[in-house]
Amino acid sequence: MQRHSPARTLARLGATVSSLAITLFGLVLVTFFIGRVIPIDPVLTILGDHARPELVERMRIELGLDKPLPVQFWIYLTHLFRGDLGRSVMTSNLVVDDIKLYFPATVELGTTAMIFATLIGIPLGVLSAVRRNSRLDQFVRVFSIVGHSIPIPVLGLISLLVFYAWLGWAPGTGRVGVAYVGMTPTVTGFLTVDALIAGDADVFWDALSHLMLPAAVLAYFSMAYISRMTRAFMIDALAGEYVITARAKGLSPARVIWRHAFGNIAVRLATVLALTYAGLLEGAVVTEMIFSWPGIGQYLTVSLLNADMNAVIGATLLVGFVYMVLNLLADVAYRVLDPRV
């Protein structure tokens, strides 16, 4: 195996960090200027439409909005380097504090959905490829098409109608029942984990029951994509010469499928899973609104409706940064899992 010198490794690391920094700068630049050019006046949002002109002008000077856009962007960058995303008009809190409050709920929802999608989607894709053109394969293909065809808002509303209104299996919207709000001390921000740490079984089971339905809605959309990609990768792998050789040696079907064929697609599948997880965290906006889930998606949407541009820009930067980091981790996993790279 080819070994790389420390200098070459550091050079590659520096190139990766530089690429990430340039991408992040571009994201900040585009997000900032879009937030400034849209026809929403943050001063009128704070003071109201009927504020006196002298108050409007004074507030505009205090916020630095009287300066040219390049100067405003430089001021924003200097604050950003200090970890200051500004103050939210809607909550009157620092945007950083709001993100710390709301983002864990999105991570908890997206992670649960990703676990469901992975544990179900991968086996379905593998079995579909192994039994190609069978009834199971046809079912998985229809299952995937339906998952991609139904919009998440429609799927979310149907699930609430069926499992909450008709069957009464789901507890409804929200992250936890009204009786349990504020009962568990915040340690990690993940309500189910915090309830376990506090030893409060009632809060844990109530939070878990509220988590299942929105997580299942998100998981179904991702599961359809994962199963479809797994099926395509496995069909290509099963046709490989190494699989034919393994079968000729008399290895068991399970070993041929899971060790040789699936092991070969693990690299590409890791990239799919990482980007799918990033998409879950990014695409939870609609699901959080439907299920009144107090996550970063709901925070972003409500902030946009209230013209709270500091909150909108801060939440957008967070989502973009998470997407870039997960993309970078997928690239690292690709290199780790495939020594040839």
pLDDT band at 132 (very low <50, low <70, confident <90, very high): confident
Residue with more model confidence, 112 or 258: 112
Torsion of CA 284, 290, 92, 46, to 10 degrees: 110
pLDDT winner (highest mean) among 37-41, 232-236, 257-261, 327-331: 232-236
Q: Say if residue 47 is in the same domain as residue 154.
A: no
Asked if residue 89 belongs to a domain, the reply is no
Q: Distance (Å, rounded) from C-alpha 185 to C-alpha 238? A: 51
Average pLDDT on 70-89 reads: 85
Q: Are residues 180 and 310 in the same domain?
A: yes
**Whether 224 and 152 share a structural domain:** yes
- Asked if the model's pLDDT at residue 160 lies above 60, the reply is yes
Considering the domain boundaries, does residue 88 fall inside one?
no
Instruction: Reply yes or no on whether the pLDDT at 159 is more than 60.
Output: yes
Domain boundary among 81, 116, 145: 81
Reply yes or no on whether the pLDDT at 337 is more than 60.
Answer: yes
- Answer yes or no: do 202 and 299 share one domain: yes
Residue 176, pLDDT above cutoff 50: yes
Are 74 and 173 members of one domain?
no
For residue 1, the model assigns a pLDDT of 46
pLDDT value for 3:
55
Q: Per mean pLDDT, which range of 172-176, 292-296, 302-306 is the poorest?
A: 302-306
Confidence of residue 209 (pLDDT cuts 50, 70, 90): very high
Sorted by sequence, the CB contacts under 8 Å of residue 251 that are 6+ apart come out as 260
Judge whether residue 226 has pLDDT over 80.
Answer: yes
Tell me which long-range contacts 334-340 makes (C-beta under 8 A, separation of at least 24). 334/267, 334/270, 334/271, 337/266, 337/267, 337/270, 338/267, 339/1
Instruction: Report how many domains make up the chain.
Output: 2
Q: 133 by DSSP, 3-state: which? A: coil
Higher pLDDT, 104 or 330: 104
User: Domain check: are 50 and 112 in the same one?
Assistant: no
Residue 137 and residue 40 share a domain = no
Q: Which of these three, 35, 57, 81, is where a domain ends? A: 81
Is residue 1 domain-resident?
Answer: no
What pLDDT sits at residue 210? 92
Average pLDDT along the chain: 83
Task: Please report, in angstroms and rounded to a whole number, the separation of the first and last CA atoms in the chain.
Answer: 11
What's residue 123's pLDDT? 92
Instruction: Choose among 137, 106, 156, 48: nearest CA to 279.
Output: 106
The rounded distance, in Å, linking the Cα atoms of 133 and 137 is 6
Say yes or no: 59 and 188 in one domain: no
On whether both 77 and 219 belong to a single domain, the answer is no
Stretch 112-129: mean pLDDT, rounded?
A: 92
Question: 210 or 84, which is more confident?
Answer: 210
Strand, coil or helix: 167: coil
CB-CB contact of 138 with 242 (8 Å): no
| Domain presence at residue 111 | yes
Tell me: do 15 and 104 sit in the same domain: no
Cβ of 245: how many Cβ atoms within 10 Å? 12
Question: Could you tell me the CATH number of the domain that includes residue 250?
Answer: 1.10.3720.10
Rounded to a whole number of angstroms, the CA Rg of the chain reads 24
What is the tens place of the pLDDT at every residue in 262-295? 888 888 888 888 888 887 876 677 888 889 888 8
Q: Is pLDDT at 179 greater than 70 in this prediction?
A: yes
Q: How many CA atoms lie within 13 A of 170 on its CB side?
A: 24
Query: pLDDT tens digit string along 38-74?
Result: 766 667 666 666 777 777 778 777 767 778 888 888 8
> Residue with structure tokens 């009962």?
183
Burial of 328 (0-12, 13-18, 19+ CB in 10 A): middle
Over residues 148-166, the mean pLDDT reads: 85
DSSP state of 315: H
Percent of the chain with pLDDT over 70: 92
Q: Dihedrals φ, ψ of 90, to 5°?
A: -70, -45
In a domain, 105, yes or no: yes
Q: What is the residue range of 14's domain?
A: 6-81
- Is residue 257 included in any domain, yes or no? yes
* Residue 62 shares a structural domain with residue 113: no
Please indicate, yes or no, whether the overall pTM of this predicted structure exceeds 0.85.
no
Same domain, 128 and 68: no
Residue 87 DSSP SS3:
strand
Burial pattern 60-89, b for ≥16 Cβ within 10 A else e, equals beebeeeeeeeebbeebeeebeeeebbbbb
Last residue of a domain, one of 81, 115, 130: 81
pLDDT at position 6 is 67
Residue at 221: amino acid letter: F
